[in-house]
Structure 1
Amino acid sequence: MYPDEDEKQADMMIGEAVIALIDGDVPVTSASLLMKLQSLLMTENDARRKKAIFCAIREVRTALSPPGERGQHGTEKARNETSRLLDAVLNDVIRKH
Structure 2
Amino acid sequence: MFPDEEEKLTDIMLGDAVLYLLQEGSAINVSALIATLQKMAEREESAIYQQACLNALKNVRNSAKLCVCQPDEESNVLPLFSHFPTANATKH
When normalised by structure 1's length, the TM-score is: 0.63
Map 1:9-48; keep pairs closer than 5 Å: 9-48=9-48
Give 5+ residue unaligned stretches, structure 2: 68-92
Q: Deviations over 1:42-96 (max 9, x none)?
A: 11111110010011011111111146xxxxxxxxxxxxxxxxxxxxxxxxxxxxx
Give the AA of the match of 1:6: E
How many residues are treated as equivalent by the alignment?
A: 66
User: Whose RCO is larger (CA < 8 A, sep 6+)?
Assistant: 1
Alignment match, 1:5? 5
Larger Rg: 2
Deviation (angstroms), 1:9: 0.7
Give the AA of the match of 2:45: N
More helix by share: 1
Residue aligned with 2:57, SS: helix
Alpha-carbon separation, structure 1, partners of 2:41 and 2:52: 9
Alignment match, 1:57? 57
Alignment match, 2:73? none
Give 5+ residue unaligned stretches, structure 1: 68-97
RMSD of aligned residue pairs (Cα, Å): 1.7
| Runs (4+) off by over 2 Å | none
